[in-house]
Structure 1
């Protein structure tokens, strides 16, 4: 699997996980963390278009980490 395929796989997983978050009641503090995760997800596309795969991968990985923190607090993982 090359870098682009790996990033695209993580983008799909992020979409699945964000959909899961949207189906639960979230707390006020969670909103900021979720927005940060979404912004990192958008940055993923920006750097992917620039062919900066290392930064793109870093962005999607950070987005997953933020989202996983919210999922963990709500016992989704």
Structure 2
């Protein structure tokens, strides 16, 4: 089974990489960009019988820092 794990910063957490991208877009002449938040996309393939608790454990223990990040899993 293919998974996509989207990891994003929680609201209110400072995002210096997002700010740098926002600034660079403005410097390159792209107008109208109001905000940028950067995250991660992790694609992985697991056994078809992998249960939700195991997938959740992978996310909580390694893929996302749940103190400052949220995650969402999509099964492809």
Shorter-chain-normalised TM-score: which range? under 0.3
Of structures 1 and 2, the one with the larger relative CO (CA 8 A, separation 6+) is: 2
More strand by share: 2
More helix by share: 1
User: Which protein shows a greater Rg?
Assistant: 2
